[in-house]
Chain A
Amino acid sequence: MSLGDPRWSEAFGHLADYLGSHIRVSLAALALGLAVSLPLAIAARHRPMLRGILLGMAGVVQTIPGLALLALFYPLLLALASLSLRWFDAGFSAFGFLPAVAALALYSMLPVLRNTITGLNGVDPALKESAQGVGMTPRQSLLMVELPLALPVIMAGIRTAAVWVIGTATLSTPIGQTSLGNYIFAGLQTQNWVLVLFGCAAAAALALTVDRLLSLIESGLRLRRRFRTWIGLLGIAALVIVTLAPSFGRSGARVVIGAKTFTEQYVLAALISQRLQAAGLATSTRQGLGSSVIYDALASGDIDVYVDYSGTLWANQFHRDELLPREQLLAALKTTLAQSHITLLGELGFENAYALVMPRARAEALGVRTVADLAARSGGMTIAGDYEFFSRPEWRGLQKTYGLSFKAQRVMQPDFMYAAVASGEVDVIAGYTSDGLFAKYDLVTLDDPKQVIPPYDAVMLLAPKRAHDEAFRAALQPLLGRIDLPLMRKANLRAAESGAASSPASVAGWLWERIGKR
């Protein structure tokens, strides 16, 4: 990890964009949070009922994990956007900025509410009476006496909120808001720890900077040092201005490529981006999008293209549980997608399906080649799967059809599953067929003779507005049917390594060379 490592320069290359977006979304959320919390706190300070309700609700919000809160706002705004489109003929994007700002603003409310109420109620009653006695109206008393005296406590709340919001904003990446979280999500998926560290350090530095600036404003106001207050205010203003500047120069005509939160998606997005750029189109990538967010983002035109998997669309997006053979499934999907004006441009040539996976040596020693073979022995074995596998229809189908019954089930972060099965920590995992780690750990997939697991062909989807964009389609056409399973596995393995050539962009370049030779 020397400073000469090209990953550093890659990380720095994104800094202006990621940091700028991070600051914009954090400060907007903080401003919105303050605009809502401060008046509420002032209104609630003499009303114990309202105060109890507000603090209770803000407390409940705080217990919702940040990731979930952000994810919840996406469908909410999506529904609002479609209502607004229907009623006022004015839609807005429910993707990225708005849900992130709304969720983060909600997140900022508790410390501001609590400290403002505590601060105001902590003002000496004798002073409030003095304020009345000299002839102040309630409003004058609030502005001239109570708020200034409660200021240190209120500012402490605002500073807490600022640090929380800046930290939590890293989680807004999966709902489509570019942030310093892009470094962290991308780094975690491609095992690029340089990126993860870089993202964390940048977010921490930003949080500390904003905290310092707010503390300058606070001490300036408290000690009546105008100079300090101005330095703090100018610092915040400078942050806002600096981060707004790049967005002026950004053209609105870019093609936006979406990528979900795993390695293969980063590589494929980079590949698509390179093809489109080669065709003369300006592109940008929205990485680390949640599985359900990305489809809606495509349908509403927030992104233009991404790669999904037939089985995922079928089961998760359209909630269908009947098992169809590959060709029928693709045909059915095309029809269903067409109803939303989404184009299924074609298959890439490989499948990324769930499969039961064991180390080759172990499987051979036990004579296990298929899931049916495994069923006889599974009673003494442990299986591991990702967060969703054990609640998916495939798993229920496997259990029922083959009579599988394991001693124990464990849920794991996908990246760690492969090492766990290779080391004997667990006996079987529900892996992904295109994963690059098969070669690294010498693993095999067990056959599924009764075809319980549906096909998961990688398919390229286009947003409605690109349906008839011939140049666009032509640029992507060469990718269709050209990437087979071994090639994708190799690409994924390269991306999972920690060398300098493991960035999604260089792996995509490598992949294109291989495709071009075919």
Chain B
Amino acid sequence: MISFRHVTKRFDGGVTALDDVSLAITEGELLAIVGSSGSGKTTLLRLANRLIAPDDGEVHVSGENVADVDPIALRRGIGYVVQDGGLFPHMTVADNIGITPKLIGTPAGDIAMRVEELLELVRLDRSYRDRYPHELSGGQRQRVGVARALAAKPRIMLMDEPFGALDPLTRDALSDDFRALHDDLKLTTVMITHDMTEAILLADRIAVMTSGRLIAQGTPTELTASGDAFIDRLLSSPRRQAERLQHLMAGSRA
């Protein structure tokens, strides 16, 4: 569905953000990209909807080289969710959600119906329609962000740390809900996170990046088996947390 073929991206000042990265995401898959800040994961994501162009290599989406398609049409066909939602502060919830259908020229009546549908889908009360983003909580904003990304019925979702700024409870609820949506709507999703636990719990496959290079990819089980020291260290943190939790819970019960 999406494939990055030997992409390299250098920014002004000679910083290499991506260094010969190749990665394929198959249809229906939820892939998490994990890495510390500055590892190039956001850059990789932005290549997919052509917010930026690679210096070398090619990016293919739905079988077409993105360099050959109209970037505006490409982006309208891909859902894009960023941290804290990226909602337009001067538009209501309904206007935010309906923006891409409006750009495509969907009739207003159809947009209103679609907005109702999406509010239900992301489990927000319809009374939020006419609120402004600053009147919402962080979790609600993120739900609106997801609804907006889904509005034009995309088959692909790109998510850049979508749940990064949320409290743990909201985050759990939201990521569970999204996984369900992903499966119901048969989406193909690339999600960036710096949280290994979230990646393991949510994703079908994980890609690990550091310093602009893709150093490993695979299911959680495959990654565990890789034996790479860096990946072990990444995986050790959720494991240690789980062990400590288990220990503490067991201790309190005794």
Residues of A participating in the B interface, judged by any CB pair closer than 8 Å: 126-127, 129-137, 140, 144-145, 148-149
Contact = CB atoms under 8 A, between A and B. Distances in A.
B86 A136 contact: no
Given A126-B86, A129-B86, A134 B51 contact: no
Contacts, number: 51
Contact of A130 (B73, B86, B104, B152): B86
A127 to B, nearest CB: 6
A330 B72 CA distance: 78
Which of A130, A140, A144 has the most CB atoms of chain B within a 10 A radius of its CB? A130
Nearest to B80: A133
Nearest to B76: A135
B88 A136 contact: no
B89 interface: yes
18 contacts: A126-B86, A127-B86, A127-B88, A129-B51, A130-B80, A130-B87, A132-B51, A132-B75, A133-B51, A133-B75, A134-B76, A135-B77, A135-B100, A136-B99, A137-B72, A144-B88, A148-B90, A149-B90
B114 interface: no
A258 to B, nearest CB: 53
B191 interface: no
A135 B103 contact: yes
Q: How large is the interface on B (under 10, 10 to 19, 20 to 34, 35 or more residues)?
A: 20 to 34
Contacts of B49: 133
Which of A127, A135, A140, A148 has the most CB atoms of chain B within a 10 A radius of its CB? A135
Given A133-B49, A133-B75, A145 B103 contact: no
A136 B49 CA distance: 12
Contacts of A140: 103
B99 A126 contact: no
Given A126-B86, A129-B86, A134 B72 contact: no
B86 to A, nearest CB: 4
Interface in B92-106: 99-100, 103-104
Instruction: Please list the 9 inter-chain residue pairs (A to B) with the smallest Cβ-Cβ separation, ordered nearest first.
Output: A135-B76, A130-B86, A133-B80, A135-B75, A148-B90, A134-B100, A134-B99, A135-B103, A135-B100
A130 B90 CA distance: 13
Nearest to B148: A134
A136 B51 CA distance: 12
A144 B90 CA distance: 10
A130 B85 CA distance: 9
Contacts of A136: 72, 99, 103
Contact of B80 (A127, A134, A145): A134
A146 to B, nearest CB: 10
A305 to B, nearest CB: 59
Contacts of B88: 127, 130-131, 144-145, 149
A132 B46 CA distance: 11
Given A144-B88, A149-B89, 18 more contacts: A126-B82, A126-B86, A127-B86, A129-B51, A129-B82, A130-B86, A132-B51, A132-B75, A133-B49, A133-B80, A133-B86, A134-B103, A134-B148, A135-B75, A135-B76, A135-B104, A135-B152, A137-B72
Which of A126, A134, A145 has the most CB atoms of chain B within a 10 A radius of its CB? A134
Which of A131, A144, A149 has the most CB atoms of chain B within a 10 A radius of its CB? A144
Contacts of B82: 126, 129-130, 133
A127 B89 CA distance: 9
Nearest to B158: A133
Contacts of B100: 134-135
B186 to A, nearest CB: 21
A139 to B, nearest CB: 10
A134 B75 contact: yes
Interface in B27-69: 49, 51
Contacts of B72: 135-137
A204 to B, nearest CB: 34
A498 to B, nearest CB: 57
Contacts of A135: 72-73, 75-77, 100, 103-104, 152
B130 to A, nearest CB: 11
A126 B104 CA distance: 22
A222 to B, nearest CB: 8
A396 B246 CA distance: 106
Contacts of B86: 126-127, 129-130, 133
A131 B148 CA distance: 12
A407 to B, nearest CB: 67
Contacts of A132: 51, 75
B93 to A, nearest CB: 14
A87 B40 CA distance: 63
A135 B103 CA distance: 7
Nearest to A140: B103
Contacts of A131: 88
A149 B49 CA distance: 25
Nearest to A221: B90
Contacts of B77: 135
